Each structure stands twice: as C-alpha cells, then as structure tokens.
Chain A
C-alpha cells in the first residue's frame, strides 16, 4: 500500500515517462492507448487515439503513473511536487541535474538544514521535482 503520484500531460506523456525511465534507471510498463478504450467507456476525441490512456514507470519497487488527458487541456502541473530521496549525495545531484536540464531550477541542489543535499526543479515537461538525500532514520 502506497501513495502513487499520477501525472496528467496534454500529449507528452510517453516522451516524459521515457525520459524519467532513463534518468532513474526504470522501465515504462503497461502502456495503454486511447484506441484501446472499450466502446462503453467513452468517446476518444479525434486525433488523440495514439496518446497514452495509462502507463506505469517502474523503478525497482517505486511506481509513478501517468496519462495524457483524454480531452487535452490538463494544464501546467501545480500544487503537487514529486519527492524522490536517495542515500547518496552524488547520485541525487546527478539525477537533479539531469531533470533540470532544459527545465527550470527553482531551488539549487545544495545542503540544507534538513538534508545533505536537496534541490527543486521543474523539468522540461512541467513536472515539479524535489530531489533529496534521505536522512538514515527515514529508512527505519
């Protein structure tokens, strides 16, 4: 049982998940497209048939789920970030730098009063990330 972030994109879901798979070293699984929607589950707007209805990014035990919004117009993500913690400062910094490339750094990756390394950025697909180094007791 866990809380899984579910991201909505307008039409860049697949590209974004492939990028995250590369950055985190995971795998995109179970890609379903709107063309596969059962007939009684709604009508897909023309031109959106090949977009992603549901997909999961699996990184070890961690999952992230996402889709392109059925009608489009998901808008810019706001009011939710995704936190991913690492044990190793250099690994966290590397992930942060890759996510921030062509995106926007909102808080540079550096030591803070709560973490040996923490940074925040909005990636090129609009997702707001918090990348940090977990304190040892977080794994208790």
Chain B
C-alpha cells in the first residue's frame, strides 16, 4: 500500500490523464465527472471537470481530479518521482513528458543516478524521471 500522488488540475485533468496513460502504458484509466456525483451541486451539472480519476502501472497508482468548477491553484512544491525499468525507458518517458512542456533538468547521468531528469509538463505537473538507482553499498 503506497502513498499515492493525487494531482489537481483546473479543467485539464482528462487530457492530462489520457496523456499519462499513453506515456506510461497504463490500460485501466477510469474517470468520474463532477456531474455524475450523487447529490451533485447545481453548478456542477454542466461541468465536464473530473471529480476523480486513476490509473495503475505495475505496483503504482496515480490519482487525479480537477478542482471543483471555478476553483484551483497551479501545482507547487510537490513532484512525482518515477523510476523506470531501465535507462532507455526513463529517457523516453522524460522526453515525451517534456513535449510542449519545460525541461527543468535535462536527462543525463548524475552523481546519484545513471540517468535522471526533471520536467514540468504541459499540464503543469512536475516530474522526476530516473533510471534504476544503484543499490546503496
């Protein structure tokens, strides 16, 4: 049972989660809209904002929603760390997430990882993508 990052968007949740499902190869993306909630507030009825969405990848789950209609702050001070099965996959994931977004730290070897990069993607999510780390001695 892991601690699961829960991302909050301002209307882009569905597009972002579809993009992540494609990048990471998840096949079970599910989303529920605010309009579908039992006792949905009147101002939610016409909204296509996502109340809850999630997808699985290996042992990991990523969850997300849109803020309720009319609310929201950009993401700040939290990133999502993902360690890929190998360095080539890590680089590919990093490069795809950077499409239309901003590279914060180009993918390459560092003192702590054989391959590591940081990206702010086009939906505002901050990612740290790494190749498998060497086991501590």
Contacts and interface: CB of A to CB of B under 8 A. Distances in A.
B6 interface: yes
Contact of B78 (A8, A38, A113): A8
Contacts, number: 121
B4 A82 contact: yes
Contacts of B111: 38, 41
B75 A79 contact: yes
A80 B6 CA distance: 5
30 contacts: A1-B58, A1-B84, A2-B2, A3-B5, A3-B61, A3-B80, A4-B80, A4-B81, A5-B5, A5-B78, A5-B81, A6-B80, A6-B128, A61-B2, A74-B76, A75-B77, A77-B77, A77-B78, A78-B76, A79-B72, A79-B73, A81-B8, A82-B3, A82-B6, A83-B3, A83-B4, A84-B3, A113-B37, A113-B38, A130-B6
Interface of A: 1-9, 30, 38, 41, 54, 59-65, 69, 74-86, 113-114, 126, 130, 134
